[in-house]
Chains A and B, each alone.
Chain A
Amino acid sequence: MCFNSLFFLFFFMLINFFFLVYFIMNGLSVFFEWENVTFNSMSIVMSILLDWMSLLFMMFVSLISSVVIFYSKSYMNSELNLNRFIILVLMFVFSMVLLIISPNLISILLGWDGLGLISYCLVIYYQNLKSYNAGMLTALSNRIGDVMILMVICWVMNYGSWNYIFYFDFMKNDYVMFIISFMIIIAAMTKSAQIPFSSWLPAAMAAPTPVSALVHSSTLVTAGVYLLIRFNYLLIDMFFFKVLLFLSILTMFMSGISANYEFDLKKIIALSTLSQLGLMMSILSLGFPDIAFFHLLTHSMFKALLFMCAGVIIHMMNDIQDIRYMGGLSLYIPLTSLCLNISNLSLCGIPFLSGFYSKDLILEMVSFNSFNLMVFILFYLSTGLTVFYTFRLIMYVMINDFNLMMIYNLYDEDYIMLNSMFVLLFMSLLSGSFLSWFIFSYPYMIYLPFNLKLMVIYVSILGSILGFMVSNMSIYSLNKLLMSYNLSSFLCLMWFMPNLSTYGLSYIYLNFSQILFKNIDMGWSEIYSGKGIFNILKNYSVFYNVYQMNNFKIYLFSFILYFMILFIFFFI
């Protein structure tokens, strides 16, 4: 099953690649329409839009999913239900492709709901308590987005059809469009885990690692960004641009800080994904959808690679995900640590790896267009934080001593996993330059003063020094400052937002419902209908038992007496 899906998806990717090159060279964009039913003035039409953006994204999604399925052949080796797993992953890829190619809201809804549902099934794949809770959190957060899209479908009926791409140029200042954009932004925020809805992404790391590599790094969470890229004309309205910018920058900053205090390997990578998603959303809200798309694609490459390396490490450590148990792994798993290093450095934006092209372009555009001072500070601070937690992770995982056992034997000779990682390694090295040639037909002209241009490097160096110092336990004074109890527990638990948005929101209602249940359902309504009537009948029967003198025939005779009395009353 794994090999079949691998070859199918890889072949699909190659088809997409050839079509992509052809379409870009000829500037084509194809819109298929199948008319299912037409009756009087109503027509049900299924449409598919293939332009360079959809083809490029489909190519990347199919590449990553083929590699991840091949990887999971070895990773999920001991699973009895591997068939179910592969089928779920394939269904996920299918929903994602449906989302990517659809120009109308109904098929976007099908893909969107499919993504949410299947990611729930994948998160609860290991059936323990943590997975169930994480799955609930994931599914319910995504559900809010689904509701928003359903309402958008209702509002778009005002325009006559669900093909949103036709309406942008004409309806920009309409009241209806205002409401639609508001709801679309909320839907994208739930899927891409921006600030009010950001608690599900670290929790969803209870899923198996191939699921995290595919779903939570490249496809599910980028679906929200992709939706907003398609709808980006709506963001030109001043109000939405500010709201989205504010929330996404806060997300970027908050997750960057939380990743520094977090000790679970997959949660650190999840928070780093969250930070990059905030970056994508913020550059999108500043009015550069193509740069956001560029960063989406390069990020998906190295983040999937990072998750796969984390999977190898977790396998090696007997399912332990805590980085405090790990160390010195670069000596034992050189090839995996090669992939880990390259993807981490790409994430930091080290020159000429793939992350550099997109991240540096984003930061230069932010500096070049004069925005707020807070925007500027938070962008660069978050970049520094990225480098900070990356170097902290590298120190903990690869450079310090091994912390689990005294005697150990670690190896990464699993060639299936390594081969799948090498494919992504190749792409994560070169996709930056490839994509900058594909997507941008002419480069952005950016003129910046010298120090501003080098600001990224200053911030990266500062972040790396701090990352090195924090993970080196012997330097106490800095640790005591950064790790004071109140501060660190506030920052590592994501500013307590998961608690606020789950326990905080539902506690009052659950408490109230318990009061109602105990007092009404099990209280008064029992007295007046259930047990109460039974008690009345029972008490009457006890009372009249005296007259029956324990003789059943007298009881039966009382029925005849009753009919005789009735007869006398009504007929005489």
Chain B
Amino acid sequence: MAQIPLGVKTHAQKVCSLYKRALRNLEAYYDRRHVYRYQAVLLRERFDKHAKETNMIKANELLKEGEEELFLKQHPIPKYFATSPGGVAHERVVTPPDWVLDYWHPLEKAQYPEYFKKREQRKKEFVAMWEKEYGKPDEKDKHH
């Protein structure tokens, strides 16, 4: 079954993505900031050399070679931020979504009477605020 593409990226977007990933890779290898800055300038020069390329075939080939080179040179232990995907503390604390509270048993709801008294009113106010800012939702969007 043919997959519907989820989005189409422009060439510029792909090149910028490659550049950012290559920079992060450099950061993993050269962790002192002044050394990294030197290597980053060298990398920027490599990208700038072909920045004004008008021949799309050549540009695509360069992009492909760049991706290949990044894959071969990726650091085995990349530097991630702790709470981002891939980091150590990612999703350590998960907040349940708001609609879960609607499914509580009445006995559970009775433990927090003040909150649940105002909950319906708060929901209405929230919807009103949303519609004031973003307008009413489309009829087409409500149906799958």
Seen from chain A, the residues whose Cβ lies within 8 Å of a Cβ on chain B are 126-130, 206, 262-264, 318-322, 324-325, 400-401, 403, 473-474, 483, 485, 488-489, 492-493
CB within 8 Å for A400 and B92 given contacts A264-B77, A324-B79, A493-B76: no
Inside 8 A of B81's CB, which chain A residues have their CB?
320
CB within 8 Å for A485 and B73 given contacts A320-B82, A473-B32, A474-B35: yes
Q: A321-B82, A324-B28, A403-B33 are in contact. List 4 more A-B contacts (CB 8 A).
A: A129-B90, A129-B91, A320-B81, A324-B79
Inside 8 A of B92's CB, which chain A residues have their CB?
126-128, 319
* Chain B facing A: main interface SS: loop
Could you tell me the distance between the alpha carbons of A206 and B82 in the complex, rounded to whole angstroms? 12
Could you tell me the distance between the alpha carbons of A130 and B32 in the complex, rounded to whole angstroms? 28
Query: Is B88 on the interface with A (CB-CB < 8 A)?
Result: yes
Give, as a whole number of angstroms, the nearest-CB distance from A180 to chain B.
41
Give, as a whole number of angstroms, the nearest-CB distance from B85 to chain A.
9
Inside 8 A of A474's CB, which chain B residues have their CB?
32, 35
Interface string of B80-115 (1 = CB under 8 A from A): 111100001111101000000000000000000000
- B77 contacts A492, CB within 8 Å? yes
CB within 8 Å for A322 and B79 given contacts A130-B88, A403-B33, A473-B30: yes
Of A401, A473, A492, the contact of B76 (CB 8 Å cutoff): A492
Give, as a whole number of angstroms, the nearest-CB distance from A364 to chain B.
36
Query: For residue A80, which residue of chain B has the nearest CB?
Result: B93
Interface residue range, chain B? 20 to 34
Query: For residue A127, which residue of chain B has the nearest CB?
Result: B94
A-B contact number at CB 8 A: 56
CB within 8 Å for A488 and B76 given contacts A473-B31, A473-B32, A473-B35: yes
- A403 contacts B31, CB within 8 Å? yes
- B77 contacts A319, CB within 8 Å? no
Give, as a whole number of angstroms, the nearest-CB distance from B23 to chain A.
15
Could you tell me the distance between the alpha carbons of A247 and B79 in the complex, rounded to whole angstroms? 32
Could you tell me the distance between the alpha carbons of A320 and B31 in the complex, rounded to whole angstroms? 15
Inside 8 A of B33's CB, which chain A residues have their CB?
401, 403
Of A126, A264, A400, the contact of B32 (CB 8 Å cutoff): A400
Inside 8 A of B31's CB, which chain A residues have their CB?
324, 403, 473
CB within 8 Å for A325 and B79 given contacts A129-B91, A473-B30: yes
Give, as a whole number of angstroms, the nearest-CB distance from A203 to chain B.
12
Interface string of B5-40 (1 = CB under 8 A from A): 000000000000000000000001111110100000
Interface string of B97-136 (1 = CB under 8 A from A): 0000000000000000000000000000000000000000
Could you tell me the distance between the alpha carbons of A403 and B77 in the complex, rounded to whole angstroms? 17
- B79 contacts A319, CB within 8 Å? no
Pairs A–B under 8 Å by Cβ, sample size 20: A126-B89, A127-B91, A127-B94, A128-B90, A128-B91, A206-B88, A262-B77, A263-B77, A264-B88, A319-B89, A320-B81, A322-B79, A324-B31, A325-B79, A400-B32, A401-B32, A403-B31, A403-B32, A473-B32, A483-B29
Query: For residue B92, which residue of chain A has the nearest CB?
Result: A126
Inside 8 A of B88's CB, which chain A residues have their CB?
130, 206, 264, 319-321
- A319 contacts B32, CB within 8 Å? no
Instruction: Please name the 8 residue pairs, one residue from A and one from B, whose CB atoms are nearest each other, closest first.
Output: A324-B31, A319-B82, A319-B89, A128-B91, A489-B76, A473-B32, A126-B92, A320-B82
Could you tell me the distance between the alpha carbons of A289 and B94 in the complex, rounded to whole angstroms? 47
Inside 8 A of B79's CB, which chain A residues have their CB?
263, 322, 324-325
Query: For residue A400, which residue of chain B has the nearest CB?
Result: B32
Inside 8 A of A401's CB, which chain B residues have their CB?
32-33
- A322 contacts B80, CB within 8 Å? yes
Among B29, B30, B31, B33, the most chain A Cβ lie within 10 Å of the Cβ of B31
Query: For residue B80, which residue of chain A has the nearest CB?
Result: A322
Inside 8 A of B28's CB, which chain A residues have their CB?
324
CB within 8 Å for A319 and B83 given contacts A473-B35, A485-B73: yes
Give, as a whole number of angstroms, the nearest-CB distance from B24 to chain A.
12
Could you tell me the distance between the alpha carbons of A397 and B31 in the complex, rounded to whole angstroms? 12
Inside 8 A of A127's CB, which chain B residues have their CB?
91-92, 94
Interface residues of B in 45-82 (CB under 8 A from A): 72-73, 76-77, 79-82
Inside 8 A of A321's CB, which chain B residues have their CB?
82, 88
Give, as a whole number of angstroms, the nearest-CB distance from B73 to chain A.
7
Inside 8 A of A263's CB, which chain B residues have their CB?
77, 79
Inside 8 A of A324's CB, which chain B residues have their CB?
28, 31, 79
Inside 8 A of B77's CB, which chain A residues have their CB?
262-264, 492
Inside 8 A of A485's CB, which chain B residues have their CB?
72-73
Query: For residue B91, which residue of chain A has the nearest CB?
Result: A128
